[in-house]
Structure 1
Amino acid sequence: MTLRADRNSRAETSELSEIAAAWTAELPDVDLAPFLVSAGILRLAQQVEHAFTTLARSSGIGPGDLRVLLALRRSAPEYAMSPTALFKRLMITSGAVSKQVDRLAELGLVERVPDPEVLRGVLISLRPGGRAIAENAMRRIATSFCGLEHLSAAEANQALDVLSGLQRTMDAAATTDRT
């Protein structure tokens, strides 16, 4: 598939269309589809991250802290995880988890408790205030977040299918690149 920018496009062309037009003028033989898809994903990710940061800040915490609370809240029924499980789930460093847990513990939103299954092990446990913040945040994300709440069920399912396909394609490419 080759995407070409229409040089006679309307005045209200999107920024991606303008970028495509500029690159098409410079490299007319290049298929811009992979670049435009990745640029579109990055723009969406930036919008979502901005909204997520705003949501976290409205609760008096940072976005990384909110991610910790959300991970703990969905880890029912204990609402507790080891620091190792947290950093693996969140795909961040153990040091970042430690700093976030320290901040959240100071705020009384989580606590470190002994792990009954691991000698000298520790679990990060969600406290009632942390649970309330996580639940409120998830309700807000589900009902009023970046306009995505306006998608019909069919549109949301279609978007999820496309995202799954993109993830499979990128995972396959990453596996191929490592060999």
Structure 2
Amino acid sequence: MALRADKHSPAEVSELSEIADAWARELPGLDLTPFLVSAGILRLSQQVERAFTTVARSSGIGPGDLRVLLALRRSPPDCAMSPTALFKQLMITSGAVSKQVDRLSELGLVERVADPDILRGVLISLKPTGRTIAEDAMLRISTSFCGLENLGATEAGHALDLLGRVRQTMDAAESAERA
């Protein structure tokens, strides 16, 4: 698969072209498109994760902790969730959520409160300082994050559409493998 410089950054084209050329030498005639798309996605994911970690660290917490705060902040009206809802939304284990909540509680950013709707139920509730950290992080991510703020509305829309199609394709393949 030939990569066109007019559609990709020079560094990306160079790196992915080198990888494609190496595989083309090793396995001539192989369509490398799925591999190159996944390699590009992985590189973007790593870059986004580094930037997200920087945002989290600037608030004195880790990236997993920031994800908990952001999930709670977007849970109106009380910025509270059950531990089960939290680990399902974050797609991590209940043990990981428990450790993160313990750490965030020690920092005064969240607290465990009784769930008024469930006997002996517990909710994880965002405290004011946790709310401030979540809102400040979201402001940074939405205004200056990995250069993505430089995409125009049309470009961003196209990117989101394409990412949605990639995800649907991957989800369908995963479902077919399980069947």
The change in CA–CA distance for 1:159 and 1:87 in structure 2 (over 3 A counts) is: same
Name the SS for the 1:14 alignment partner: helix
User: Whole-Å Cα distance in 2 between the matches of residues 146 and 5 of structure 1?
Assistant: 23
Aligned residues: 173
Instruction: Tell me if the contact between 2:80 and 2:125 (Cα under 8 Å) persists in the aligned partners.
Output: yes
Unmatched 5+ stretches in structure 1: none
Structure 2 matches for 1:40-59, cutoff 5 A? 40-59=40-59
Unmatched 5+ stretches in structure 2: 5-9
User: Whole-Å Cα distance in 1 between the matches of residues 150 and 53 of structure 2?
Assistant: 21
The change in CA–CA distance for 1:149 and 1:93 in structure 2 (over 3 A counts) is: same
Per the TM alignment, residue 14 of structure 1 is displaced from its structure 2 partner at its CA by: 2.1
Instruction: Tell me if the contact between 2:20 and 2:36 (Cα under 8 Å) persists in the aligned partners.
Output: yes
Root mean square deviation of aligned Cα: 1.4
Instruction: Tell me if the contact between 2:65 and 2:104 (Cα under 8 Å) persists in the aligned partners.
Output: yes
Q: TM-score, normalised by structure 1?
A: 0.94
User: Whole-Å Cα distance in 2 between the matches of residues 27 and 4 of structure 1?
Assistant: 15
User: Whole-Å Cα distance in 1 between the matches of residues 139 and 17 of structure 2?
Assistant: 35
User: Whole-Å Cα distance in 2 between the matches of residues 57 and 111 of structure 1?
Assistant: 21
Instruction: Tell me if the contact between 2:57 and 2:63 (Cα under 8 Å) persists in the aligned partners.
Output: yes
Per the TM alignment, residue 108 of structure 1 is displaced from its structure 2 partner at its CA by: 0.5
Instruction: Tell me if the contact between 2:73 and 2:126 (Cα under 8 Å) persists in the aligned partners.
Output: yes
Q: Sequence identity of aligned pairs in percent?
A: 73
In structure 2, what residue type is equivalent to 1:171?
A: D
User: Whole-Å Cα distance in 2 between the matches of residues 171 and 53 of structure 1?
Assistant: 27
Instruction: Give the match for residue 29 of structure 1.
Output: 29
Instruction: Give the match for residue 133 of structure 2.
Output: 133
Instruction: Give the match for residue 103 of structure 2.
Output: 103
Name the SS for the 1:61 alignment partner: coil
